[in-house]
Amino acid sequence: MNKIKIKKGDKVRVIAGAHKGAEGEVAKVLRDSNKAIVEGVNLVKKHAKPSAENPQGGIQEKEAPIQISNLTLLTADGQATRVGYRMEGDQKVRFSKKSNEVI
């Protein structure tokens, strides 16, 4: 299994699929299925039956997971980059391969 280099709170861009070019923040990483949920991207409509918390029921929009391989991390200035790891003192940090800055 590949190491997942994207974490919750990262800014990412979709690089493949129907939502190519869309950007957003990672809301959740699903490690077991190698997917991530990105806010505002890959919205699907879900039909909900009336319940106690949703007495009206109806159609709701929510984000569906996207494959990690279809996402790329963005630097602070909005450029797509790959992720590397290095030791700074006694701490392991992630850094941008493009700009060499710590993420």
Q: Is the pLDDT of residue 86 over 70?
A: yes
pLDDT of residue 3: 85
Interval 36-59: pLDDT, tens: 999 999 999 999 999 998 889 899
Of the pLDDT bands very low, low, confident and very high (cuts 50, 70, 90), residue 17 is very high
Domains in the chain, start-ordered, CATH in brackets? 11-50+57-75 (2.30.30.30)
pLDDT for residue 1: 62
The candidate with the shortest Cα–Cα distance to 22, out of 62, 77, 70, is 70
The dihedrals phi and psi of 24, each to the nearest 5 degrees, come to: -175, 180
**What is d(CA 68, CA 65) in angstroms, rounded to the nearest whole number?**
9
For the chain, give the mean pLDDT.
Answer: 93
